[in-house]
Structures are given as C-alpha cells and as structure tokens.
Amino acid sequence: MSGHEDPAAAADRSERARSFGRVASEYGRGRPDYPREAIDWLLGAEPLEVLDLGAGTGKLTAALLDAGHRTIAVEPLEEMRAILTATLPQAVALAGTAEQLPLEDESVDAVAVGAAFHWFDQEAAQREIARVLRPPGVLGLLGNSFDTSTPWVARVRALLGPPAIERPGHWPSVKELGSRFAEVEDREFAHEQLLDAAGLRDLAVSRSRVALMSVPEREVLLAGLDRLWEREPELIGHSHATLPWRTRVRRCRGLRERGAASAGAE
C-alpha cells in the first residue's frame, strides 16, 4: 500500500487487525516462533539494538532476545502487549503504531517485522522505519508459510486458507525496498512447531479471518481440524505432531540517504 490508502480498505484492515485483541491468548499459544538461523542471517552475530515492530505477543521478540539482541517491542493492542510484557520482561514494550513510532530519530540498529507488515499503511510505515534506523541500518521482514510437502499440513492449509505471506502485496516489492536500501535479499529457512489438537485449534483461532467468524461458522471449521486427528495417517494415535513451516525472510541493508530514497520512490 503506497500513496493514499483507500479509506474503506483502511477501515476494513483496522477492524481485522483489532480482532487479534480478542484472541490474544490463542495467538500466544498457537502461533509458531522463528528459527535462530533466520535471526542470525538477518542480523549477524554482534548484539544490536532492534525494534520488533507489530510485536504481538512476542513470538519474534523472544527469538531476538534469545539471539542476544537488545529489543524494543512496539505493539498497538493492549491485550497482545500484556502477554508480551508478562512473558518477556527483559524486552522494552511500548504502545505504538508503525505509522507513528514512539522512538527518536536514528535510535535503533535494526527493525524486524514478523507476520505484521500487511497490517500497516506501507508507505507511512517505511518512512517511519527509515526515520528511526541508525545507518547503515537493517530492515527484516519475516513470516511463516505452511510446508505443504507433508500431506496433513496441506489439508490444514486447505481448511484455513493460505497465510498472509503467500498473498500478493504482503510485503513491499524488492524494487520498492531497493529505493530505500542498497541491498535487498530473500532467504527461506526450515522450521518446526510441536503442537497437539488444542494447539492446532489455537493456531486456527489466531487467524483474523477465523477470529471474525460467527461462533457457529468457527465451530464448523474447528470440528474439521479435530477430524484430521482421527483420519490422517500421520496424526492417528498421536497426542502431538510436528507441523513443518518455511520461514521466509527479506533482508534489507544499507539505508540510502533520505533524499535519494524519496526521489527513487517517486
């Protein structure tokens, strides 16, 4: 989303984003985290001052902290932020939005965004990210996509629909990001999540589309997920299963001078 966003689209996006407040607990329990290899590739070995933008309940925040980075987590929804604060007290948690960050100019070495950029007004968010980054600067966009090479995972995806990362326009294009950064590169990492039937339900409920369903619609969907544990050969007789993911990362490094970036984006 660049330029002036359509008001109706912005209102719909805002409503869907607010839905996460009502399913914050399910989000914290059901969503996958991020692999250490992805964080190391994105940020390197040296400890950095990192902003986790749209931090939610702290899935990416935890991975950044585990890798040794000093982390500021910005999240607009109080319900999500409360879980992050309770579980990750070592992070600095702030209320704020991507379009109006509560940070000083050039105050962080890197900005990381996990499964959240599609909720932002992308042009406004990119301007704010450029403002708070300390040169040379790193922007990392991360997301988890179902690894459907496993048959039962393909059936989960068919029931839930594709995650946002698989939809067009989820991230700014490489060309657009290249107007702000000298280097833009993509990489993918294998990742796994151990869950049970309740965890699979939590994963489903944490999706905005499911969170906004009527109770009868949601129960029909969740019953379909429950039946997988009775029918799928990989799940029958097992209390837990390993759900494989593909973690996608877009790394942007070397913030261009602000005047040059603005001219390139026109």
How is 64-85 classified by DSSP, letter by letter? HHHTT-EEEEE-S-HHHHHHHH
Closest CA to 72 of 36, 106, 43, 112: 112
Sorted by sequence, the CB contacts under 8 Å of residue 229 that are 6+ apart come out as 197, 235, 236, 238
The residue ranges of every structural domain in the chain are 7-143+164-190+245-265
What pLDDT score does 167 carry? 83
The yes-or-no verdict on residue 263 having pLDDT over 60 is: no
CB–CB of 102/73 below 8 Å?
A: no
Whole-model pTM: value is 0.90
Q: Give percent above pLDDT 70 in the chain.
A: 89
Q: Average of pLDDT values for 156-170?
A: 89
- Provide the token pair at 107: 């105050």
Q: Average of pLDDT values for 241-252?
A: 97
- Provide the token pair at 37: 């290899």
Round to whole Å and give the CA distance between 258 and 266: 13
Element (H, E) at 216: helix 215-231
The yes-or-no verdict on residue 13 having pLDDT over 60 is: no
Residue 265 binned pLDDT confidence (cut-offs 50, 70, 90): very low
What pLDDT score does 266 carry? 41
Sorted by sequence, the CB contacts under 8 Å of residue 56 that are 6+ apart come out as 20, 27, 31, 75, 77, 80, 84, 114, 115, 116
The yes-or-no verdict on residue 3 having pLDDT over 50 is: no
Per-residue pLDDT tens digits for 25-64: 999 999 999 999 999 999 999 999 999 999 999 999 999 9
Per-residue pLDDT tens digits for 94-151: 999 999 999 999 999 999 999 999 999 999 999 999 999 999 999 999 999 999 999 9
Tell me the backbone φ, ψ of residue 97, rounded to 5 degrees: -120, 160
| Bond into 168 cis (ω within 30) | no
- Provide the token pair at 239: 């209390």
The per-residue pLDDT of the chain, averaged, comes to 91
Tell me the backbone φ, ψ of residue 190, rounded to 5 degrees: -75, 145
Around 57, how many Cα atoms within 13 Å sit in the side-chain half-sphere? 18
CB–CB of 249/189 below 8 Å?
A: yes
- Provide the token pair at 110: 């890197």
- Which sign, positive or negative, has the C-alpha torsion 51, 54, 55, 61? negative
Per-residue pLDDT tens digits for 58-87: 999 999 999 999 999 999 999 999 999 999
Q: Average of pLDDT values for 192-205?
A: 96
What pLDDT score does 169 carry? 83
Q: Average of pLDDT values for 206-230?
A: 93
Which CATH superfamily is 7-143+164-190+245-265 part of? Vaccinia Virus protein VP39 (3.40.50.150)
- Provide the token pair at 43: 């940020």
Residue indicated by tokens 């996958």: 32
- Provide the token pair at 220: 């029909």
The yes-or-no verdict on residue 264 having pLDDT over 50 is: no
The yes-or-no verdict on residue 18 having pLDDT over 80 is: no
